[in-house]
Chains A and B, each alone.
Chain A
């Protein structure tokens, strides 16, 4: 078994936290992991990507080969499109509908959604809105992770445990909000 995920978004959206939680859950499950991150120059507002690979055998490359990703998990719809050359023909795209418009030439929303809908397996999720409705705006990344959990080869309970472990330092209230967002995101993805 192997499962390759490209995570994408805009700097500051918490993309690397999603990666850290999946990686932690996978490590607890005894899987091999490789997770390549983007660091460095004030990435705020810029495009961010992370390669996350899980397998029950040793993994060689830190980078996912083009055309091999099982999932593209994006906190922003246009950022999902940026990485589609990595997606396997049967791969899934799970993306937040909410756009981050911080450039003057950001394309028209309908064009972005239309381009996304042409892919074989796409779930556009209102992760940012779900989080906001729970008064947990900063947990929209967890709502998106919840939606993605419908596809990930890890039980949701393991992911929730990893959320607890990663946010534990920040207190019980933060953990609860993030888990609530995760569950709402999962429900939204599985409900349709």
Chain B
């Protein structure tokens, strides 16, 4: 362990273990997945009996973590940024209700949308919920953030948000571990009504949350994660948040001549910002994601044009930062670079050779031939690649679980038949309730559950509905005659297309389970057994 070179995600996970965490709750999602995977692999976590199983979705993860906190233990819920939307209900209310044992909610953002539908900035959620938010700028700070966050959470009786970003989550660097702290003892909250958000209690708790705001700001002013570094050249002062600090320093190997305020804890340390603004002519704000700090500095009637960043075009409005963009914002001349030769063509990711989803799409395309195009509502997983050539089978991908409900909405509008394509893991994440809506409405929707028996897109985590899909579907009210199971294989093509065609003709909800194990997990399983 003395030569510990973890991913940012792994550093955070080890930091949580060393800070005495008793349970992790998460749903896999890039770039957050490795936090849980690290703890699942950890011998120490196994020995201590740290809870470390995947949850059905992010909402259940946050709720379970809140329950562990209620019982006095330190708990952590981890997800990607869009997962926080799924968990927004318990997240917002946990801020009001407070915690007993320390509670960290980790959201890994994906600026530049390397593998996401949007690049929302979770620091906005931190402001929205009015809770302290940490944004580590390197792997060591990711490790330390767990300990700082749990201490802050228990000191003020509030959850703490940790914002990671793709680049930190998926980059390795040397990290020094610190002494480990024992887990908390089991205890229930001193005030037994604290966790009951009846309006009378909620009003009191909300007032208390507002009262704590100056304390949270003071904590940021004094945090080891926030530093004011003076410099002789006051023509420009620089605010560098999270990872942006590294890109700034990369441009000044011999030290930055300008005053720099490095921020990795929120709410924004207002006094330090004022100090910088007063000392310098202009201020450049470098932040990964949305202009969260920059907007707070620019009350619109008072905007005097001295603050620069993503809003005035000094930096691009969207996308990940990098050293070259920061250099450009500093007014440096761009070096001459080699150009990518014209022969280079795009090489998008593809479904694996022999992937079961490919066989399902071929059968679906054949069954849909008699109908006009544009009827297939899809969801989020490897199978989303079915939107691209050679299949071009699917027409939508919005958010986890949207396939069945959108297909129902389109059917309500009169588009029939409609098809919903959803993975087994996505179905258990947030497809089940939508299916119930469709069943209750007798919507003419054909739901195809692509059951590759795993959560393939994020690397093969367990899928909670594994082995019980037909029971769930039956329990939600789909008649047995219209719960069909097919095996997506080339030699079954004709038969599978016929099954799909039959169900397309049925004017109510039917479910087709297309079941064949993911090639990758099958290969890994066989290797493990060998």
Contact = CB atoms under 8 A, between A and B. Distances in A.
Interface of A: 10-11, 23-24, 27-28, 32-47, 51, 59-67, 78-79, 81-82, 84-85, 87, 102-103, 105-108, 111-112, 115, 118-119
Contacts of A11: 349
B350 A119 contact: no
Contacts of A115: 341, 343
Contacts of A38: 114, 170
A88 B227 CA distance: 33
Given A63-B323, A66-B324, A84-B339, A27 B174 contact: yes
A64 B457 CA distance: 27
Interface in B1-32: 3, 5, 7, 30-31
Contacts of A60: 246-247, 249-250
A16 to B, nearest CB: 10
Contacts, number: 147
B241 to A, nearest CB: 15
Nearest to A61: B250
Interface of B: 3, 5, 7, 30-31, 33-34, 114-115, 167-168, 170-174, 243, 246-247, 249-250, 322-324, 327, 335-341, 343-352, 382, 385, 456-459, 520
A64 B322 CA distance: 8
A36 B170 contact: yes
19 contacts: A28-B3, A34-B172, A36-B171, A38-B114, A39-B459, A40-B457, A41-B457, A62-B168, A62-B246, A65-B322, A65-B323, A66-B323, A81-B341, A82-B340, A82-B344, A106-B345, A107-B344, A108-B343, A119-B338
A14 to B, nearest CB: 15
Contacts of A103: 345-348
A101 B458 CA distance: 25
Contacts of B457: 40-42
A61 B338 contact: no
B173 A42 contact: no
A43 B350 CA distance: 7
Contacts of B30: 39-41
B83 to A, nearest CB: 14
A92 B457 CA distance: 34
Query: Interface centre among B114, B173, B385, by most A CB within 10 Å?
Result: B173
A47 B114 CA distance: 12
B344 A40 contact: no
Contact of B347 (A27, A41, A47, A66): A47
Nearest to B253: A60
Given A42-B349, A61-B246, A102-B347, 19 more contacts: A23-B5, A27-B5, A38-B170, A39-B30, A40-B31, A40-B114, A40-B458, A44-B350, A46-B348, A59-B173, A60-B247, A61-B250, A61-B323, A63-B247, A64-B323, A78-B347, A103-B346, A111-B343, A115-B343
A43 B349 contact: yes
A97 to B, nearest CB: 15
A112 B347 CA distance: 15
A175 B459 CA distance: 25
Nearest to B169: A39
A2 to B, nearest CB: 9
